[in-house]
Amino acid sequence: MSQTCLDCVERSDRVFCDLEPAALGEFDQIKSLETYPRGTVLFREGQIARGIYLLCRGRVRLSVCSEDGRRLILRTATAGEVLGLSATLAGGLYEVTAEVMEPVQVAEIRRKDLLQFLHEHSDVCLQVVNLLSEDLHEAYDLVRAVGLRNTRQVHSHEARPH
Amino acid sequence: MLSPYGLDIIESCLTCKMRADRLFCDLPTAALQAFESVKYATAYPKGAVLFVEGQVPRGIFVLCKGRVKLSICASDGKTLILKIAEPGEVLGLSAAVSGKAYELTAETIDPCQVNFVKRDDFLRFLKEHSDACFKVAEQLSEKYNVACHEVRSLGLSHSAAEKLAKLLIEWSSKSGESLKQEPRLKLALTHEEIAQMIGTSRETVTRLFADLKKRQILQAKGSTLVIRNKAALRSLATTG
């Protein structure tokens, strides 16, 4: 896997990564590339959002938790997805917990850098709006799935302790 | 100008006094003028359906006055109320951006003023005004947060009692009453609607309210609820 976004061969297939050359060069400057082993928690729900994690390689499990430690798995994020986007933009708390399922490479961008980058590149901002819309569609599907079926079924099949 | 529903319609966004307090509306002058030229100010009575889940998106609806119930439906007709939208919110946003069908049904629960913008006009507006694009991103983020909260509440609560207690605590916190010794809540929804918010039956909600009153946790004064025992309600919200 490439160390720089500029010669990444996967870029054109990924919604967020397929940026214009000027924006891409700048994005490459503000991102920090990290690798994490299986089991790493990238961020936990309730933490103040520090920034976004662009998943270059690997898979990440997204889940929410109840006060008594039961967990509901929302979905598995795959390469090309941007994690922590809505919380970072809103300047709030991460809404979900993101845990590495297999070794990952992620490009991390701090909140301050991301906001400045989006202000300077309106085409990327539009891209982000599109991504958020997709995330929201999925979240509503999940609300429908969880809220409109037997609650007992959800508890027995999906919720499990940490 | 007075509309048939007793609403004082705000014809122009440029002179709207509420603008500064509302996340989406507080745009720079150029963007505001562009928005003004593509929006249609409309008034709706209580009970009007702005859009239905599954419809092809026509555009976005900026809620200027009144409240709108946002719900989703199962194939067997069971309804779940996701949120009561307040003035300043933009409805139908993610569907209009993505071009996918509306995910929710939006129905007015008060007479409402809504500024409608056609999808094509809105997408062009976003391309040309990055400030507005940023505000849309913020609105979408907030909606995502609400959806996650709903999933957590519906999927991980033990019982209807826990969900109802959580809802009452949330309402008292939103109305700024939570710090008071005995917070008061104006009950704006019917038992049926509350049931649809927490994914249970109307009968269960009525039974739970009766039980909370019997245990002196709640007291009803007309359509106002008084939380008499905050600690007991909080305990119910965490243990069910």
CATH number at residue A9: 2.60.120.10
Residues of A with CB under 8 A from a CB of B: 64-68, 70, 72, 74, 85-87, 89-90, 92, 95-96, 118-119, 122, 125-126, 128-130, 132-137, 139-144, 146-149, 151, 154, 158-159
Q: What is the mean pLDDT of residues A35-48?
A: 95
What is the pLDDT at residue B23?
80
pLDDT at A75: 87
How do residues A129-157 score in pLDDT, each as one tens digit? 989 998 899 898 888 888 776 444 444 33
Interface with chain B: mutation pick from A70, A72, A95, highest number of B CBs within 10 Å: A95
The answer as to whether B104 is a domain residue is: yes
So what's the pLDDT on residue B3?
63
Number of H helices, E strands in chain B: 8, 11
Residue B4 maps to a domain? no
Q: Which among B36, B56, B50 has a CA at the least distance from the CA of B125?
A: B36
Binned at pLDDT 50, 70 and 90, residue A160 comes out as very low
Query: Nearest residue on chain A to B239, judged by CA atoms?
Result: A68
Instruction: Show the tokens assigned to A21.
Output: 């050359």
The low-confidence residues of chain B, meaning pLDDT below 70, are 1-4, 239-240
Q: Does B133 touch chain A (CB under 8 A)?
A: yes
The pLDDT value given to residue B133: 92
In the predicted model, is pLDDT for residue A1 greater than 60? Answer: no
In terms of Cα–Cα distance, which of B122, B6, B21 is closest to B66? B6
Partners of A139 on chain B (C-beta within 8 Å) are 144, 147-148, 151
Domain with residue B234: its CATH number is 1.10.10.10
ipTM of the complex: 0.78
In this predicted structure, the answer to whether residue A162 has a pLDDT above a threshold of 50 is no
- The reply to whether B8 falls in a domain is no
- Give the tens place of pLDDT for each residue, A79-134: 999 999 999 998 889 999 999 999 999 999 999 999 999 988 888 998 899 899 98
Structural domain including A12 reads: 5-161
Neighbouring C-beta atoms of residue B68, cutoff 10 Å: 26
Per the structure, the count of domains in chain B is: 2
Beta strands in A50-161 (DSSP E): 51-57, 60-65, 70-77, 82-83, 97-100, 104-110, 159-161
Residue tagged 């997709």 (tokens): A134
Domain boundary, last residue among B90, B123, B156: B156
B144/A147 Cβ within 8 A: no
Structural domain count, chain A: 1
Q: Where are the alpha helices (DSSP H) in A8-121?
A: 21-30, 85-90, 111-120
Q: Is A54 left (phi over 0), alpha (psi -120 to 50) or beta?
A: beta
* Angle, helix A21-30 to helix A122-147, in steps of 10 degrees: 70
Single-letter amino acid code for the residue at A20: E
pLDDT at A2: 64
Q: What is the DSSP string of B189-223?
A: S-HHHHHHHHTS-HHHHHHHHHHHHHTTSEEEETT
Nearest-neighbour CA in chain A from B118: distance (Å)? 17
Q: Supply the DSSP symbol for A34.
A: E
Please tell me whether residues B21 and B94 are part of one structural domain. yes
Q: Judge if B77 and B21 occupy the same domain.
A: yes
d(CA B6, nearest CA chain A) in Å: 34
What pLDDT, on the 0 to 100 scale, is given for residue A145?
82
pLDDT in tens, A15-25: 788 888 888 89
A49 or A162, which is more confident: A49
DSSP secondary structure, B43-109, as one string:
EE-TT-EEE-TTSPP-EEEEEEES-EEEEEE-TTS-EEEEEEE-TT-EESHHHHHH-PPPSSEEEES
End-of-domain residue from the set B100, B132, B156? B156
**A125 chain-B contacts, CB cut-off 8 A:** 130, 133-134, 137
**Domain-terminating residue out of B122, B156, B190:** B156
Q: Dig out the tokens for B67 from the structure.
A: 């409240």
Model pTM score: 0.81
Structural domain span for residue B197: 160-239
